[in-house]
Structure 1
Amino acid sequence: MIRRLFSSAKSSGEYAKVKLISSSNVSKDTRLFTFTTPPSLPPSLPLTSCIRVRLQGDVERAYTPTREDSETFDLLVKRYPRGKATSHFFDLKNGDTVDVAGPFRKFEFDCKRHREIVMVAAGTGITPMAQLLRADVGHNFCASSSGSASAKGAQSKGEEDVEAVDGARYTLIYANRTEDDILLRDELQHLASLQPPRLSLHLSLDSAPPNWSGNEGTITQEYLASLLPKPPAAGEVSPIVLVCGPPGFMDAVCGNKVSPQEQGPITGMLGNLGWTNDSVYKF
């Protein structure tokens, strides 16, 4: 069974104020925010971890930084029409502060046990997937560490030194509305080119341009079935499926979480295909 390690900020960490240094648009409704790094946040986050951000009192959300070091960290935030947190984010000006706590591990990634991993993401749901791919495919984390699932040290290895290793195999299925909405595209394609046998990248667009080579239209159960391995047999821990995206996407693919701490049953397309909580994790 996938081990859940997520715990709330209230019980596992103190909040620290961080200052917004800059922000820039990366798509029509997504912006990259750069904040100062608090002393409580390590320069390299543990793999599959997030931080919690508190804006204007009780509005809290979990985010996975797309980059972090000892001085600054970046967050990708997409604006949703009725989203409280995203509205506050997009109103921030340089010099404004927010409260952050963490990091908090989401689930326990085990280099030795998790050998086949399928990632199904939409929109900014790509950020936790990119965190793991960057460390393991980009820097051979599992080959260069004891497998303790900490990214510290793994990100210091230059990409020019990366060699193909017999590590975990990843399939990334990434859905967006249009081609302009694809976040971190250059990095994902670069990672796929570093070790082609280890990362298979599949881009899907609701509305695709002419000569688009990926999937066109919303993700269907048939499309997922064509890319997914069979669910693991009883007692096995691999393959696993990681899912992250907006509520409508999560509902269709695997069902939404009951709460930040409770996964809830596996429903939707994955449930129909025989996947269970033993082998699916919802970010």
Structure 2
Amino acid sequence: MASAGLTGGFPAGGNPWPFGQRTGQQRTFLEQVLLSPKGTQDSTTAASEVSGKSQERCLLLALGVVSVTMILTILKQINLKKKGRITLQDPEAEYPLPLIEKEQINHNTRRFRFGLPSPDHVLGLPVGNYVHFLAQINDQWVIRAYTPVSSDDDQGFVDFIIKIYFKNVHPRYPEGGKMTQYLENMEIGDTILFRGPTGRLFYHEPGSLIVKVDEMSEPENRLFHHLGMIAGGTGITPMLQLIRHITKNTSDGTRMSLLFANQTEEDILLRKELEEIATTHLDQFNVWYTLDRPPVGWKYSSGFVTADMIKKHLPPPGEATLILVCGPPPMIQEAVHPSLEQLGYTKDMIFTY
């Protein structure tokens, strides 16, 4: 992979809109179409509210040339209208960002803080999306996906909590993690390439998510009343992104239930914040833990995620239910997916990061 696409990290002109410079009339019309309450499926209804033949012609043109994927891109940009300058203006560009702080969370987990181009910049990551890190390691380009733990309202920096997979620790992976060991060895001031936003899930508005179940499917705008979440280890980070966003909005009544799996109690990341949210939002969010090696007197579950745990602590299958899954592949493939299938969750009720 070449890094010729850097050009300082920002596209010429800094215009995030794929249509180039739009008139005020076009902008209002497109935003009305794209932000109708029922999403892209109701674009015709939204169009009827804008009078005049020029708007009708604009609709026909938009529907003719704008794919669902392009509409999703526009929605992302509309969602990013906020104070501050956006860092990730082009999802195909590569942005070199410096490491400015590194904190040890526990024996194998670190908090990495990267600086943005100025104190006024935000990262520009829509809720539900993530970024890719790119690094040349031993003459090969390595790419990994990560979700920040900082808010996208934070200016000047972005934080990640990342577990380091060291060599000769896990028998399945004797070489450890290429990217995580690279991050562990970074010095303050070193840069790494960011690319994004990326993702198959976009939190559009309260209870409304645009979802691609897999890479082959088209994005769909769907309504959910209850989100079930199954996270393993650092797989908690995309869940926390949603939990924070939903509970921060007092008009969002979406319920969330989290089943969080770890090896030991010490490995439970962000536990204090999760339990504070559960306490202050009793009717909206609850969390349950399971540990491979629980301590004496542990009051939660132990062992791999099971169908019984899911049945007790997550919402049942239904049209208004979505189960979000993020964690180590063995946990997902050997425990989570078989258990969900056993309980009757269909493919469209499950989203795996």
Q: Which residue of 2 aligns with 1:70?
A: 155
SS in 1 for 2:202: coil
Q: Which residue of 2 aligns with 1:128?
A: 238
C-alpha contact (below 8 Å) 2:122/2:157 kept by paired residues: no
Distance change >3 Å, CA 64–CA 102, structure 1 → 2: same
State how 1:14-25 maps to structure 2 within 5 Å.
14-25=93-104
SS in 2 for 1:13: coil
SS in 2 for 1:278: helix
Alignment partners' CA distance in 1, 2:117 and 2:131? 12
Count of residues in correspondence between the two structures:
239
State how 1:92-171 maps to structure 2 within 5 Å.
92-110=186-204, 111-112=206-207, 113-137=223-247, 139-140=248-249, 143=251, 167-171=253-257
Cα distance per residue 1:50-108 (max 9 Å; x no partner): 11111125111111000142211111111124211111111111111100012224313
Q: Which residue of 1 aligns with 2:346?
A: 276
State how 1:113-262 maps to structure 2 within 5 Å.
113-137=223-247, 139-140=248-249, 143=251, 167-232=253-318, 236=319, 238-254=320-336
Residue 90 of structure 1, aligned match among 184, 191, 195: 184
Alignment partners' CA distance in 2, 1:121 and 1:104? 20
Structure 1 segments unaligned to the other structure (5+ residues): 144-164, 255-266
Q: Which residue of 1 aligns with 2:164?
A: 79
Cα distance per residue 1:170-198 (max 9 Å; x no partner): 10000111111000111101111111010
C-alpha contact (below 8 Å) 2:226/2:256 kept by paired residues: yes
Q: Which residue of 2 aligns with 1:60?
A: 143
Alignment partners' CA distance in 2, 1:169 and 1:89? 35
Normalization by structure 2: what TM-score? 0.63
Alignment partners' CA distance in 2, 1:193 and 1:95? 39
C-alpha contact (below 8 Å) 1:41/1:103 kept by paired residues: no
Alignment partners' CA distance in 1, 2:105 and 2:285? 24
Alignment partners' CA distance in 1, 2:289 and 2:297? 14
What is the letter of the counterpart of residue 283 of structure 2? P
C-alpha contact (below 8 Å) 2:94/2:195 kept by paired residues: yes
What is the letter of the counterpart of residue 150 of structure 2? R
Cα RMSD (Å) of the superposition?
Answer: 2.5
C-alpha contact (below 8 Å) 1:16/1:38 kept by paired residues: no
Alignment partners' CA distance in 1, 2:288 and 2:226? 16
Cα distance per residue 1:139-168 (max 9 Å; x no partner): 126x2xxxxxxxxxxxxxxxxxxxxx6x01
Pair member with larger Rg: 2
Alignment partners' CA distance in 2, 1:168 and 1:268? 26
* Higher-helix-fraction structure: 2
Give how far 1:206 is off.
1.2
Normalization by structure 1: what TM-score? 0.77
C-alpha contact (below 8 Å) 1:205/1:217 kept by paired residues: yes
Distance change >3 Å, CA 43–CA 53, structure 1 → 2: closer
Q: Which residue of 2 aligns with 1:31?
A: 110
Alignment partners' CA distance in 2, 1:216 and 1:131? 26
Give me the identity figure in percent.
Answer: 32
What is the letter of the counterpart of residue 147 of structure 2? T
Q: Which residue of 2 aligns with 1:149?
A: none
C-alpha contact (below 8 Å) 1:47/1:105 kept by paired residues: no
SS in 1 for 2:234: helix
Give how far 1:252 is off.
2.2
C-alpha contact (below 8 Å) 1:51/1:63 kept by paired residues: yes
Alignment partners' CA distance in 2, 1:179 and 1:217? 12
Give how far 1:136 is off.
1.0
